[in-house]
Chain A
Amino acid sequence: DIQMTQSPSSLSASVGDRVTITCRASQSVTSKLNWYQQKPGKAPNLLIYGASSLQRGVPTRFSGSGSGTFFTLTITSLQSEDFATYYCQQSFSLPRTFGQGTKVEMK
């Protein structure tokens, strides 16, 4: 199985901050990497697919980059509604696997 490791596990930030989350795969997943946002008590929501493509309806302050084994999710100007947990997920091979999550909290 491909192991996905996110860092940090949590971070504290303020509205307007630039936030970057990283995701490393235990082997290459090419560009088959997705990012999801999850708020407490809710289902995850797709933000980025194919490592860097923005899902329809997602604000442009979210962006993704990377390929192979190293990926980043960046929020350029954090908004109050962005405080949530973020997960990366590989769609390169079975079983599909997720990172352990990064919780973005208010400073």
Chain B
Amino acid sequence: QVQLVQSGAEVKTPGASAKVSCKASGYSFNVYYIHWMRQAPGQGLEWMGWIVPNNGGTKYAQKFEGRVTMTRDTSINTAYMELSRLSADDAAVYYCARGILLSGFGAFDLWGQGTAVTVSS
């Protein structure tokens, strides 16, 4: 079954880091970019960046530069997103998604189920 399965919910204190995993199955992990998005409660979707599983290359949204790190472990088909120096504004559901080219157009065609990150003292 083609799917992305994310790690479970996390509760963090301000200033801590959160690390979310995203395990791919049913397709060739190395072939497709993994993107990370987040969605604050009642809000829209915000793109955070991508990782290229084949070579580990990354591109981050400027807003998160210096605070986000995306990595992968190809031996277990898993991508990771770590966000440091958490504040209340980082409380959100974090999603990984597969980036695909469909007739030359980029889109996110497969999503993880989401991981809720709560930031509370």
Interface of A with B (CB < 8 Å)?
Answer: 31-32, 34, 36, 42-46, 49-50, 53, 55, 87, 89, 91, 94-101
Contacts and interface: CB of A to CB of B under 8 A. Distances in A.
B106 A32 contact: yes
A44 B105 contact: no
Contacts of B2: none
Nearest to B111: A43
B44 A46 contact: no
Interface magnitude class on chain B = 20 to 34
A95 B35 CA distance: 11
Given A32-B105, A43-B114, A44-B95, 18 more contacts: A34-B105, A42-B113, A43-B97, A43-B111, A43-B113, A44-B111, A49-B105, A50-B104, A50-B107, A53-B102, A55-B107, A87-B44, A89-B45, A95-B62, A96-B35, A96-B47, A100-B44, A101-B44
B61 interface: yes
B59 interface: yes
B60 to A, nearest CB: 9
A85 to B, nearest CB: 9
11 contacts: A34-B108, A43-B114, A44-B111, A45-B111, A50-B102, A50-B103, A53-B102, A55-B109, A94-B59, A98-B47, A99-B44
Nearest to B42: A101
B112 interface: yes
B46 interface: yes
Nearest to B104: A50
Contacts of A98: 44-47
B6 to A, nearest CB: 9
Given A53-B102, A98-B45, A43 B107 contact: no
A43 B46 contact: no
